[in-house]
Amino acid sequence: SKRRKVTPRDISKYPLILPPRHLSTWRLVEYAFAQEGLPYEVKLEVGGWEVIKRYVSLGLGVSIVMSICIQGDENLEVIPVKDYFPRRTYGVVVRKGRQLSPQAKGFIEVMEPSLKELWDEK
């Protein structure tokens, strides 16, 4: 699809591939469709964003994922739906008065560009 704007009504026509029901993404999707009074079908419930993206790439359905899960190298079309889903904010929690391990510092350095992108979207 070459559409740049998609509504929950548009999405409700396709089977969904979602993470496990106990995760917050499922509740956000459920809430968005309930707000619009729309039915939806969950075709697959699977763990892991890479698995979800793989099933979407195989044509088994569509999914709603956070932008941080999309690397840009996938053979998938990404259409923003931020108008229908609440903004999520993440941060790094560290223990006061403690030095970070080299691994933790490395993680923050790797994540910094993505975190900056998310911050700049505000």
Alpha-carbon gap, residue 69 to 34, rounded angstroms: 25
Considering the domain boundaries, does residue 74 fall inside one? no
Q: What is the pLDDT of residue 114?
A: 66
Alpha-carbon gap, residue 111 to 105, rounded angstroms: 10
| CATH code, domain with 41 | 3.40.190.10
Q: What is the pLDDT of residue 41?
A: 96
16 token code pair: 């969904």
Are residues 65 and 36 located together in one domain of the fold? yes
Considering the domain boundaries, does residue 32 fall inside one? yes
* Bridge pairing between strands 16-18 and 42-45: parallel
Considering the domain boundaries, does residue 119 fall inside one? yes
Please give the model's pTM, rounded to 2 decimal places: 0.67
Q: What is the pLDDT of residue 1?
A: 47
Are residues 31 and 62 located together in one domain of the fold? yes
How many Cβ atoms are within 10 Å of 108's Cβ, its own excluded?
Answer: 13
| Per-residue pLDDT of the chain in tens (122 residues, 90 and over written 9) | 455 788 899 999 999 999 999 988 888 899 899 999 999 999 999 998 899 999 999 999 999 987 777 776 668 888 888 788 777 666 777 788 888 888 888 888 887 776 655 555 54
Q: What is the span of the domain harbouring residue 56?
A: 8-69
Are residues 94 and 58 located together in one domain of the fold? no
Alpha-carbon gap, residue 67 to 24, rounded angstroms: 15
User: What's the total number of domains in the chain?
Assistant: 2
Alpha-carbon gap, residue 81 to 66, rounded angstroms: 10
